[in-house]
Structure 1
């Protein structure tokens, strides 16, 4: 592919794939700028979409943007490009999270092939807030997911039964705190879409993606409805033995959060390719004291950035995305 082949149709396709990434409450806290002369894409944080109460240091914002960055890398490799990424390239502007130079691919190396093969999973992956089967995850699948995280500089740990109990207790503690703190519910209410609004939304979590209410079972899921009524939602039983995984990084600064986001999305795309469904919970990580307890004191290392729930079950519905024209600037 030559430089003149990198037209706006290609760039638009890359951004559309990038923005299919998950983000906290589907706030989509990113913007992109394409510098035509340098074949350069800049990823910027959109602070107007930050969570003032539940993500005051913008850790989750960086993770979401990191996930979008990984999708961009996958889409670029699929398009025959070689994405060369620099994190936090402008010390004077911390909102510039990454610079991606879209070079011509010089060959089909193992790294490029490994990224490109994940491209179909970008559109197949959706957060699932539905029950999963009571079926274990094969060890070879667990190994593949651990490897995926390690390729992005993170660690994926499948905790043992006793620590899963701890994580479930932390989720319940977080839910109790939200119930007692009106300010803690402010972010959730801002980013949920009920009634007719759900049908026209371009961001946030629409009511059709809330999933059913839990009758029993122990899957750690945030109830986006809260006490608000949602028509035809239903109540079902969830799995009693959820399969959880902890994604951690050795550091806990903005660059680490961006790496965590890339690792998270690589894990999710690998899981989707292996026939797994998944959901995320940052609920016990939104308070500093609970987040510290999320790390396994025996085998865990570093800083827990996300709790994943994985299993065999239905993929959730696609959630809305902003049009590319709303998130892309061209200079």
Structure 2
């Protein structure tokens, strides 16, 4: 959430093993009280590590939540036998640097059925489900997002968390969402796009008409435990990287999922998806602006 980058890695050179740990100092206790979204983000970072390992010629063997006594240790990743760098996950590597969240309008253009099938299969490969809801469900989802926006505006703790992770004006922050990545204000349209500016003025920010029939995908799992959240994060990143290679712009909306009662209403009762973990907005349009990343020495230790 909000480009908080809540992860730390440690690499043990003697065993060729990475550890992935949650950085709870970057948690959002009001918007994400059980750290579900935090673990989703860490799962996405874990997937990128897997892609990078294959690209470097190594097969990664992953063990999730390896120590029940240490819940902040989310995964161990051991580099095993060499593997061709352009095989399997390695083909997704070019998309890691290209994919950025786009908060711009997308074209009113359908996504080909073959591409939708490939995205669905990508989620399944990581133990998750990806569903394109019907028109009635999309309308219901948009109403839930609107409800969540109203609740957030009246909640000072959540507003403070949002302000902490958004950057208006100049600065050298290496995390959070800078003003140049807010995208235009929504003048019209139905696409669910969080307005990170709120009531704050942002110089030279335009307004735009967003799509009236947004392509929203529900990504979820049958269970709702920490391991499910980590798997969902990996599935989310796999879908986003593949979508990028397919020429799609990608965006995320978690607004309605940040309220427990609303999150339950987001699910599609006609599918095997028990719990929605993220709502993806995909389409054809600008790829979005790159946002800052923390320097390597802050997120990686080497033994």
2:272 aligned with 1:308, yes or no?
A: no
Number of equivalent positions? 303
Partner of 1:187: 161
Q: 2:271 corresponds to which residue?
A: 299
The reply to whether residue 100 of structure 1 matches residue 77 of structure 2 is: yes
Task: Please state if 1:281 is matched with 2:253.
Answer: yes
Where in structure 2 are the equivalents of 1:109-128 lying within 5 Å?
Answer: 113-128=87-102
Shift of 1:298: 2.5
Which of residues 2, 12, 18 in structure 2 aligns to 1:41?
18
Counterpart Cα distance in 1 of 2:270 and 2:229: 23
CA contact (8 A) 2:92 2:245 kept: yes
Q: Encode CA deviations 1:24-56: one digit per residue, 9 max, x unaligned.
A: 100000001111111111000000000010001
2:52 match: 75
Contact 1:130 1:211 in 2 (8 A): yes
Counterparts of 1:210-249 in structure 2 under 5 Å? 210-249=182-221
* 3-state SS in 2 of match to 1:118: helix
2:50–2:60 Cα contact (<8 Å) kept: yes
1:215 and 1:237 in contact (8 A); partners too = yes
CA contact under 8 A between 1:53 and 1:186: conserved in structure 2?
no
Q: Which residue in 2 is equivalent to 1:8?
A: none
- Pairwise CA distance, 1:300: 5.4
Please name the residue that 1:266 is paired with: 238
Q: Larger deviation: 176-185 or 310-319? A: 176-185
Could you tell me how far 1:85 is from its partner in structure 2?
Answer: 0.4
Which deviates more, 292-301 or 241-250? 292-301
Q: Per-residue deviation at 1:90?
A: 1.2
- Unaligned runs of at least 5 residues, structure 1: 1-23
Match of 1:89 in 2: 66
CA contact (8 A) 2:124 2:235 kept: yes
Once the two structures are TM-superposed, the CA of residue 184 in structure 1 deviates from its matched residue by 1.7
Q: Contact between 2:60 and 2:80, CA under 8 Å: does it hold in 1?
A: yes
Partner of 1:7: none
1:112-168 deviation digits (Å, cap 9, x = unpaired): 712000000001100000000000010000000000000000000000000000110
* 1-structure distance, mates of 2:225, 2:186: 36
User: Is 1:164 aligned to 2:138, yes or no?
Assistant: yes
Q: Which of the two has greater helix per residue?
A: 1
Provide the C-alpha distance between the structure 2 equivalents of 1:189 and 1:300, rounded to a whole number of angstroms. 37
TM-score computed with the length of structure 2 as normaliser: 0.98
Query: Under a length normalisation based on structure 1, what TM-score does the superposition of the two structures give?
Result: 0.90
Residue in structure 2 matched with residue 27 of structure 1 by the alignment: 4
Distance across 1 between alignment mates of 2:50 and 2:173: 27
Inter-partner Cα distance in structure 2 for 1:305 and 1:291: 9
Please say if 1:53 is aligned against 2:25.
no
Kept in 1: contact 2:222–2:272 (CA 8 A): no
Distance in 2 between the 1:141 and 1:203 partners? 32
- The question of whether the paired residues in 1 share the 8 Å contact of 2:54 and 2:84 is answered with no
CA distance in structure 2 between the partners assigned to 1:188 and 1:244 by the alignment: 23
Q: C-alpha separation between the residues in 1 aligned to 2:284 and 2:300?
A: 36
For the pair 1:155 / 2:129, whether they are aligned, the reply is yes
